Structure 1
């Protein structure tokens, strides 16, 4: 399987990998067709798991390779990753301020971004779509890094990152479609919007891979950029959502488990 994937163009690799992560999001969104909906405890636990995966991926799959690539370039090895990391956070903050969106469990009056009359369901889907952008970028940049032949990157590590992102996309799909169903949307519409929130990963992944191929010197910055964007999402959105109810401790333990799973995938396969 890896041999076949390795013979493909890196943009095609990124496309296939992000189609996989999108497919897992769709699988999670399909849970809306089940007769019994997950409890709040289950949803918080799954989101906690997703947060742990994203934190681990940000370091092992993105920041660590960025630091290694920066060594021997004539300056401090920490500087390009530091700049890229901060730029990723500022980029997501800018999108956060501009794109109308609403986080799970909050009333319509708490919508963020530019004021709009869009329905609550649309704003909620946009909130999840917003934090899927850095995930797609991370996968795309990882495959682009392999294509330019840098020692700090490998195809197995890029595949491990895609697997990790895919694992945490399942609970994200559930966490989108179920609240939409509770808000009165039909199961089919809830599934449609749930899977649609993950499609942005495909677009971001292709853009990430293409950018790295066109401008190899920015690779350490690009890897760190994706890491910074993911960490922003985890701290600003995912973790706070898991701590709103009475299952915060359970969600925290699930986050630690997710961290260990992603760390094991990256170290074991990378």
Structure 2
């Protein structure tokens, strides 16, 4: 796999990687062709698992490299990571207040964002998943963009590992959009379309992130931690609450821990 990616520049590497993560979202959405409903416990466990992967990726693939690359910072190696992390959270908080969206498992009356009550449930669900696919795409793009400045094979392996982790947790995200729509009577084809559509933003965000750090190397630690902060905000504000709203708190929590451990193993073993 390393040899395949080495034939491309970092921006193209990021694009290829996020086409894979988008494909995993689409793969999750294909479940609508097999069944009309999905067990709520299974859905909640998948959401918890996705949250665990995102938390682990935020540290091992983003924050740790940000701190490592900031050893010569005049204020301290902690500053870029701390500043970027908080900036990422504030950025997603702002989008969360503006963009109309509905969390998985939530009632349409609880939709958030500008003019949310006027939007269709399908639109709100897609926008919710799209909202936290933005930092995921940015994270992958930034990881590959960092390679433009003399990245090692280990750094490339780390970027690929991050993309694999994001792809794994994108599967339940596709399910979380497509299955509720199918359960409400929407056609299989439309349910699948909306489910996979939510992942389309990742390649676009990845290309932007890769370009930014490729041309402005000093931005790298801030960009890495920005993506981490945005992802953690999404996990805390949306993924974890959505996984527990139906009463499956213990199952969702244990699934989160499994997702965290799996991503940790992937990153340490492969990256």
TM superposition shift of 1:242 = 1.0
Q: Secondary structure at the match of 1:70?
A: coil
TM superposition shift of 1:152 = 11
Say whether the 8 Å CA contact 1:14–1:209 is kept in structure 2. Answer: yes
Q: Secondary structure at the match of 1:220?
A: helix
Task: Answer with 257-266 or 99-108: which moved more.
Answer: 99-108
Give the corresponding residue for 1:121. 122
Moved over 3 A (4+): 150-153
Give the corresponding residue for 2:252. 251
Give the corresponding residue for 1:82. 82
Distance (Å, rounded) in 1 between the aligned partners of 2:133 and 2:144:
17
The one-character-per-residue Cα deviations of 1:218-238 (angstroms, maximum 9, x if unpaired) are 100000000000000000000
> For structure 2, which runs of at least 5 residues remain unmatched after alignment?
none
Distance (Å, rounded) in 1 between the aligned partners of 2:124 and 2:259:
27
Distance (Å, rounded) in 2 between the aligned partners of 1:207 and 1:186:
34
Change in Cα spacing, 1:184 to 1:153, as seen in structure 2 (3 Å) is same
TM superposition shift of 1:36 = 5.6
User: TM-score when scaled to structure 1?
Assistant: 0.97
Say whether the 8 Å CA contact 2:14–2:144 is kept in structure 1. Answer: yes
Distance (Å, rounded) in 2 between the aligned partners of 1:52 and 1:68:
23
> For structure 1, which runs of at least 5 residues remain unmatched after alignment?
none
TM superposition shift of 1:110 = 1.5
Distance (Å, rounded) in 1 between the aligned partners of 2:154 and 2:6:
13
User: TM-score when scaled to structure 2?
Assistant: 0.97
Distance (Å, rounded) in 2 between the aligned partners of 1:183 and 1:148:
50
For this pair of structures, how many residues does the alignment match? 270
Give the corresponding residue for 2:21. 21
CA RMSD of aligned residues (A): 1.3
